[in-house]
Structure 1
Amino acid sequence: MNKFRTVATFSYPAEAAVIKSKLESENIEVFLRDEFTIASDPFATNAIGSVKMDVYIEDFIKALAIIEKSSPELSQRITDYIICPNCKKRKVREQQDINSASGFIEVIKAITYSLLPLRKHKLYKCTNCAFEFDLHE
């Protein structure tokens, strides 16, 4: 089973370093692939693609939210989202993550879900259709 997911790609290692620092300041481990290859030969970008930013699967949604908030122009480079099983849109957020909450009610829900871990609740919510779900249903 793959432990990592690619959350974004970058043409230049310097761009990746800035976002890596932001994610690491939020306690998310970041792994950059092909960083040194592209740094030593910038023309290799066309051959191998780009610098790939990977995070642990369990940190993916949080990392995605942080990237979108701190650098909205990078949302074009985000390579993978969770798809809502109801409307098939890629506008899903983790409900128990305070960092990605976008309103007072969502913050209260996130706090409640984090304080009551034994209560059965849906982990993800689509911001498009408001459908709540778990990934492993």
Structure 2
Amino acid sequence: MKKFKTVAIFVYPAEAQVIKAKLESEGIDVFLRNEYTVAAEPFASNAMGGVKMQVYKEDFLRALGLIEKGSPDFSQTITELLKCPNCSKRSVREQHDVTTATNTADRLKAVLYSVVPFIDHKNYKCTSCAHEFDLNE
């Protein structure tokens, strides 16, 4: 049985479709989670963690390379590749993503950050040392 891995996360399905077409033209099978739900109810995108672009695990690095080459901005949403600047571990989660929240407090914060986007906060949090940070730090 093949396993999937999330290679990118998008706010809108149209953004995901552009990258999906590029990856499929290179022979990579792409699956979009939450695509139809977000298309029907766009305001639910942040609460659901966005449209998740998934590929088979064996295609992950190739897909990541194609995304970085064609659209470097999209590759910044991939938290599995981020290192915590405090402890250097790769256990980082995006604060807006409800699905990766580990406890009720983090889930409530993720919903709050999604509903009220102008609140000043850090975008990423290390699940090992609880350090909050942005990519430009």
- TM (normalized to structure 1)? 0.57
Partner of 1:23: 23
Give the distance between the partners of 1:49 and 1:9, measured in 2 at CA: 8
Distance 1:37 1:55, change over 3 A: same
Bigger radius of gyration: 1
Partner of 1:44: 44
Partner of 2:62: 62
Do the aligned partners of 1:4 and 1:55 also contact (CA within 8 Å) in 2?
yes
Distance 1:26 1:43, change over 3 A: same
Number of positions where the alignment pairs a residue of Structure 1 with one of Structure 2 = 86
Identity score, percent: 64
Partner of 1:71: 71
Q: Say what the alpha-carbon RMSD is for the aligned residues.
A: 2.3
Distance 1:82 1:28, change over 3 A: farther
Do the aligned partners of 2:35 and 2:51 also contact (CA within 8 Å) in 1?
yes
Structure 2 residue ranges without an equivalent (≥5): 91-137
Structure 1 residue ranges without an equivalent (≥5): 91-137
- TM (normalized to structure 2)? 0.57
Q: Please give the per-residue CA displacement for 1:6-35, whole angstroms capped at 9, x wherever unaligned.
A: 000000000000000000000000000000
Q: Which moved more, 1:52-61 or 1:2-11?
A: 2-11
The 5 A counterparts of 1:1-137 are 3-81=3-81
Q: Which moved more, 1:1-10 or 1:69-78?
A: 1-10
Do the aligned partners of 2:2 and 2:56 also contact (CA within 8 Å) in 1?
no
